[in-house]
Amino acid sequence: MVLEPDRVGNFESASYSYAIARDWARLGLLYAQDGVWNGQRMLSPEFMALVRAPAPWWTTPAYGGQVWLSKATCDPWPCDAYWMQGIEGQRVMIVPSHDLVVVRLGHGIGDDPNDPNKPHPAIRAMAAAGKALVAAINRPAPPENRAVETVVQDVFAALGAQDRAAFHALLAPDFKLDEDGRLMTADQIFDLVAADPVKRRWTITQAQVQHAGDLATVTYRNTGSFGEGAERRVPEWTETAILRRSDDKWRLLSLHSTRIRQIAP
């Protein structure tokens, strides 16, 4: 791989980087494997969390830590996908939930690949590839699975917006949270968040849903974004939620949350 400096000798890192497709794929695979290569951690969990977390100054979760995120649209690539982007439509697509890396090289035609009013051939090609690959790998999620996952997402959206009424409407009356051995009720959780003025946002990825009658279990990865600028923290958890269906509505019954500790390599 060749990394060229700019005219005053500084390495850009976001530009002037040249490699063959296989080497770009290796770099994408390092990210897809959560920064681990052949059993050795090369990128710290803290850095990987920063990469995947939406940048706080964006109004939509379209950009993370030096990569673009699929979270803003979840289409055509899965919500947890993110990518490195070249000026003429070059791409290193990383989709951890599908164990998938896609590299696209080649030249564009001089158009701005990010201008929505000028659909770029490279962008159209990658969108078509994304739809075809995801269709080949994944069967469409049943509507009931999507409904369960939506409830979990809405719970965290209401908590981040500090909307107590919306938060309680999504919970079963006997809801409990077990976070690292600490049991809390819905009001205790809400009051804890409301007492802290820091802006909070959570992003759910890699959700897996199972059903058993009127109960559903969903496991997922939860990435938080707390605060802004230099003070921002990006904690992550693995979580298991149990939902119960009553009156044709799914409500969150219990949540077990385990913090992912940020360990240096």
Which region among 35-49, 105-119, 182-196, 248-262 has the lowest average model confidence (pLDDT)? 105-119
pLDDT at 119: 61
Name residue, tokens 């040249």: 18
DSSP class of residue 181 equals T
Q: What is the rounded distance in angstroms from the CA atom of residue 150 to the CA atom of residue 127?
A: 24
Name residue, tokens 């959700």: 207
- Tell me, yes or no, if the pTM score tops 0.75: no
Rg for the chain, CA atoms, rounded: 20
pLDDT at 115: 61
Q: For residue 169, give both structure tokens.
A: 């409407």
CB-based burial label for 129 (10 Å; 0-12, 13-18, 19+): middle
The residues pairing with 41 across neighbouring beta strands, listed in sequence order, are 36
The arrangement of strands across the sheet holding 182-184 comes to: 182-184, 171-179, 249-259, 236-246, 215-226, 200-212
The top-scoring range by mean pLDDT among 57-66, 79-88, 184-193, 225-234 is 184-193
Average per-residue pLDDT in the chain?
A: 85
Q: How far is CA 95 from the centre of its chain?
A: 10
* Residue type present at position 134: V
Domain annotation for the chain: domains and CATH numbers: 2-43+74-137 (3.40.710.10), 143-259 (3.10.450.50)
* Residue type present at position 104: R
